[in-house]
Amino acid sequence: MILESIEAHHFRNLSGTILWGSGLNIILGNNGQGKTNWLEGIYLLSRTKSFRTQRLQESIRFGQEMAFVRGKVSSGELLRDLQVTLQGSTKLISVNGKREQLVRYLGQLQVFAFTSGELEVVRGMPEARRRFIDRGVASLRPAYVQTHSNYNKVLKQKNRILQDSIDTGLSLAETKDLVAPWNEQLVNLAHQIHEYRTDYIGRINEVLERGLFERREIQIRYVSSLDGKGDLHDYKSLLDHRLHLRLEAEFSAGRALIGPHRDDLEILLDGHEMRVYGSSGQQRSALLLLDLAAVSVYNSWHANYPLFLIDDVDAELDEKRINSLLEYLEGRTQTFITTSKRSHVETFMSRASVYEIEEGKVANGDPKKDSVSTALA
C-alpha cells in the first residue's frame, strides 16, 4: 500500500500537491510552517479523523467554508483516488469520485501514527487504550467499526432508560422490563467486541514476544471489567448473568456499569506498569513498540504494510532511537516523519525523499529522487 500523492485545499494552511516517495519521506521545516498539517492530512485521508482535534471544522482555513484532502493510493496494480471534504460540520468521503460509506471507506488507506497525543495510550485514561485496541481491530476487520457503533447506540439507549427511570420515579421492576431487550442486544454485541479485542491483544503479544528493534520486556494484558467475576471463556453467559445481578446497582446509578466500555489495557515494561511507574522515555518506548507490533500484525493479516507516521520525531525520540527505528522500518513501510532538526536524520537523507515546508507549501523538490514534489500556486 503506497500513498502516491496528496493534494490539500484550505485544510489548515496547506496548499498544493506532493508526490511522495515509496520509502522514507522526511518533512522538514521550522515550527508553524505546516509540517504536522501534512501528516494530519494523510491521517484524515486514512481515518477520516484528525489526531489533533475532534472538531474537524477547526481544520478548515479561517475565512473559508470548505476544505478537502485528496490522495492517490496504489496497491499492486490497483490505483484509487480518495477524498475527504469538510464543509462546516459535514464530512463527505469518496472513492474514485463516488460517495462511499464509512465502513467501506476505512481500510482503503491504512495508517498508524506515533504522535505526542498518542502517548495517552500509555499514560492516560482507559478510554485512550480502548481506542488503541479498537483501531487495531478495525484495521484487520473493517466491519468491526459498525459493530462498535451499534454497541454504543444500544448503550446510549440503555443509559437513557436508566436515567429516565430515576427522573420519572419508575420502579425497579418496571425498569427491568424496559431494559431487558436492550440488554439482550448488548450481550450479543459485547460478546463480539470482547472476542475481537482479546484476539487482537493476543496477536500483539505474539509479536512482542518475538522481539522488535528494541530489546525491552513489554507485555500487555486485556483487563475485562468482568475479571474475577466468573469464566471469561464463556463471556456471553457471564455477562448476561452479571447484567441480571447488577441491575439494581445500575438502576440506582442511572447508567450502565457493566460491559466492554469499561474495560482497560494493562501495559508493562520490564515488569512495571507504565501508567504509574514509567518515565517519559519508557512510556515513549512502550508506545513505539506497541505501534510497531500493530504494524506487524497488520502485515501478517493483509500481507501488506500500512503507512507509518511520526510527528516531530526529534522531540519524541533521541537520536539513537531515531536511527534504530528508521533502520527497522526501511524496506517495510512507507514512512513519513516531520522534524525541524536536519541533523537528527542526516544519516538517512541520501536515501529518503525530502520535503522542506514553508507556509504550508513545499519549498523544494528532491533532486536525489525520481519522486519529486511540487507546489501549486
For 124-153, how does the pLDDT look when each residue is reduced to its tens digit (9 = 90+)?
Answer: 999 999 999 999 999 999 889 999 999 999
Residues 325 and 352 in one domain: yes
Q: What is the pLDDT of residue 344?
A: 73
Strands (E), 55-123: 66-75, 78-87, 90-95, 98-99, 111-114
Same domain for 161 and 252: yes
**Residue 295: which CATH number?**
1.20.1050.90
For the entire predicted model, the pTM comes to 0.88
| pLDDT on residue 193 | 97
Residue 215 shares a structural domain with residue 71: no
Picking from 290, 305, 320, the residue at the C-terminal end of a domain is 305
Q: Cβ-count burial of 88 within 10 angstroms (0-12 exposed, 13-18 middle, 19+ buried)?
A: exposed
Q: Indicate whether 367 pLDDT > 60.
A: no
Picking from 283, 305, 327, the residue at the C-terminal end of a domain is 305
First to last CA, the chain: 29
**Cα Rg of the chain, angstroms:** 23
Taking alpha carbons only, the member of 147, 291, 309 closest to residue 220 is 291
Give yes or no: residues 212 and 229 share one domain.
yes
Give the pLDDT score at 365.
52
- pLDDT grade for 305, boundaries at 50, 70 and 90: very high
The C-alpha atoms of residue 283 and residue 279 are separated, in whole angstroms, by 6
Q: Provide the pLDDT confidence category of residue 92 given band limits of 50, 70 and 90.
A: very high
Chain segment 223-265, per-residue pLDDT in tens = 999 999 999 999 999 999 999 999 999 999 999 999 999 999 9
* Total domain count, the chain: 2
Evaluate whether 267 touches 286 at the Cβ level (below 8 Å): yes
**Amino acid identity for residue 304 in this structure:** N
CATH label of the domain that carries residue 351: 3.40.50.300
Q: Are residues 151 and 254 in the same domain?
A: yes
16-to-240, 317, 367, 374 alpha-carbon distances in Å = 55, 30, 19, 7
Please give the distance of CA 114 from its chain centroid, rounded to a whole number: 9
The residue range of the domain holding 339 is: 1-110+306-377
CB distance 64 to 76 below 8 Å: no
Domain match, 351 and 247 both: no
